[in-house]
Structure 1
Amino acid sequence: MTVVGVTGATGAMGRAVLETAKERDDVAVAFAVNRDPADGERVAGHAVHDAAALPDLLAEHQPEVVVGFTGPESSSEYAAACAEAGVGFVTGTTGLDDAEQSALREAAESVPVLWATNFSRGVSALRSALVEAVAALPEYDIELTETHHNRKRDAPSGTATTLLDDIDAVRSDADTGQDEESAGQRTYGREGEQPREDGEIGVHVRRAGGIRGEHEIMLAGNDEVLTLAHRAESRGVFAAGALDAAGWLAGRAPGTYEFADVIEGEP
């Protein structure tokens, strides 16, 4: 059994992590924290402590891993606290700037840190299929569309950015004959007269309702269209993946890890 602490406990993903952990027998939640929680607030049966008490809670309960989906600034602070306490850190926070990513790398010098833009096994499979498709169809046009709930802050999503990076990595290794300046260029939406450039990737972001997460990549050329897509039906998908990552990360050497390492490392 892996003992974890949970940050961002009252957020949508924090609640999902706590609810999911409640149904599992391989995870035990030592504590839950959030910034400025309401007096007496509880989530999935756990009292929610003020995040300012995180260092003391880490020292008192000594969890193996902290799991968190929070704002970028908070994620950096929690990573530093975990590094100081010698506790592993799993985070699915997206929208990190260079300084915040650097904070995670700094923490990874002392403890194992696993950062992923998506903890879905389906998205992991999508990434593998996408890499294969882009390599097989180097001259096809590519368009990516992602849709999330109306409260999501970062756009495009962290998952979409990861998929775009995967595409760029494949095409940078391939000789497509495209102009170097236009190849891999990301065009965010279109308006007015905007003819498509060779190698450009169209990126389209939609925010509406309570949609958990949808990503679709279209590859078109040679009078045919190939579409790769993933839709999450519940946040529990991501929560389960994050807890799987925590169990895998516990006891590992300091360093940076990815969710793919979790999947590839399973028997």
Structure 2
Amino acid sequence: MMARLAVTGATGRMGREVLAAVETRDDLDVVVAANRGGTDETVAGVDVEPAADLESLLAEREVDVLVDFTGPDSCVEYAQACSETNTAFVTGTTGLAADQQDALETASESTAVLQASNFSKGIAVLRGLVREAAAALDGYDVELVEAHHNGKRDAPSGTANTLLSDVEAARGEFDRVHGREGEAPRTEGEVGVHAVRAGNVTGLHEVWLAGGHEELRLSHRAESRGVFAEGALDAAAWLAGRDAGWYEFDAVLEGDE
């Protein structure tokens, strides 16, 4: 049975990728494509409608699940619309402030919500490797480098913050040093975080562990945004019809019922 899908940020980089990717699937049917500010544009054969009308569109077209890659303010607004219409909500939006994150969690009391900083299967594997390496190489210095296109808003990326949380889970709390300048010798236990913004880089994340006269680098490079779109659509198909609550992308990858 096909789930009825809405896509927000339809004319953005990721919105276009999601709408293009869904054309090849037989488990999802796009019935709403919305964009803030309105547009007369058509993306992947779907007419884009004003996001101001989103709540009524979700209700009138009986949408099962919405996929969102927009900005923090929009993400919270769309999650609220989903909570009012019992529409499952999948978001890959990053850079949310604490109160915005709280608003997402409040929405999950009324509908199913799944948030992930990255919908790549490769990143999911990388996270496990980082946790394992950080624990096994206790005492080794850790540095994280991430690179994205020159239009990305948040730094460090949501994925970088997730990887840092994985290191923290393995080692406990540490000081995060964002770049270095001038006289800046490393202090014990700190983790350096370096964000690069250039050109059209889709996404690169690299975790360095160095010590004992050796160096280990764990890295992931995304070559197409389609990787994230496919993962988000997998999450949408899995989440549609589920009870209200907070869900994790790992459950999608593990095929949990």
How many residues align structurally?
Answer: 256
Task: State how far apart, in whole Å, the 1-side matches of 2:38 and 2:12 are.
Answer: 11
TM-score, normalisation: structure 2: 0.98
Q: What amino acid maps onto 1:18 in structure 2?
A: L
1:150-184 superposed Cα distances (whole Å, 9 cap, x missing partner): 00000000000000011011102xxxxxxxxxx61
Q: Which moved more, 1:29-38 or 1:199-208?
A: 29-38
Task: State how far apart, in whole Å, the 2-side matches of 1:196 and 1:100 are.
Answer: 34
Task: State how far apart, in whole Å, the 2-side matches of 1:28 and 1:184 are.
Answer: 45
Identical-residue share of aligned pairs (%): 58
- Choose which of 193, 197, 211 in structure 2 pairs with 1:203: 193
Following superposition, the deviation at residue 55 of structure 1 comes to: 1.1
Following superposition, the deviation at residue 211 of structure 1 comes to: 0.5
Task: State how far apart, in whole Å, the 1-side matches of 2:78 and 2:28 are.
Answer: 20
Unpaired segments ≥5 residues, structure 2: none
SS at match of 1:110: coil
Matching residue of 1:177: none
Matching residue of 2:7: 6
TM-score, normalisation: structure 1: 0.94
- Choose which of 179, 203, 218 in structure 2 pairs with 1:189: 179
Q: What amino acid maps onto 1:194 in structure 2?
A: A
Unpaired segments ≥5 residues, structure 1: 173-182
Task: State how far apart, in whole Å, the 1-side matches of 2:22 and 2:87 are.
Answer: 19
Q: Does 1:212 align with 2:206?
A: no
Q: What amino acid maps onto 1:191 in structure 2?
A: E
Q: Which moved more, 1:18-27 or 1:41-50?
A: 18-27
User: Which consecutive aligned stretches of 4+ in structure 1 deviate over 6 angstroms post-superposition?
Assistant: none
Matching residue of 1:117: 117
Matching residue of 1:80: 80
Q: Give the alignment's Cα RMSD to 1 decimal.
A: 1.0
Task: State how far apart, in whole Å, the 1-side matches of 2:49 and 2:143 are.
Answer: 44
Matching residue of 1:233: 223
In the TM superposition, 1:116-195 aligns within 5 A as: 116-172=116-172, 184-195=174-185
Task: State how far apart, in whole Å, the 1-side matches of 2:246 and 2:161 are.
Answer: 19
Following superposition, the deviation at residue 266 of structure 1 comes to: 5.1
Task: State how far apart, in whole Å, the 2-side matches of 1:253 and 1:170 are.
Answer: 32
Q: What amino acid maps onto 1:140 in structure 2?
A: Y
Matching residue of 2:100: 100
Following superposition, the deviation at residue 37 of structure 1 comes to: 2.9
Q: What amino acid maps onto 1:126 in structure 2?
A: L
Task: State how far apart, in whole Å, the 2-side matches of 1:62 and 1:257 are.
Answer: 22
Matching residue of 2:244: 254
Following superposition, the deviation at residue 252 of structure 1 comes to: 1.2
Matching residue of 1:24: 25
Matching residue of 2:38: 37
Following superposition, the deviation at residue 255 of structure 1 comes to: 0.8
Task: State how far apart, in whole Å, the 1-side matches of 2:187 and 2:85 are.
Answer: 51
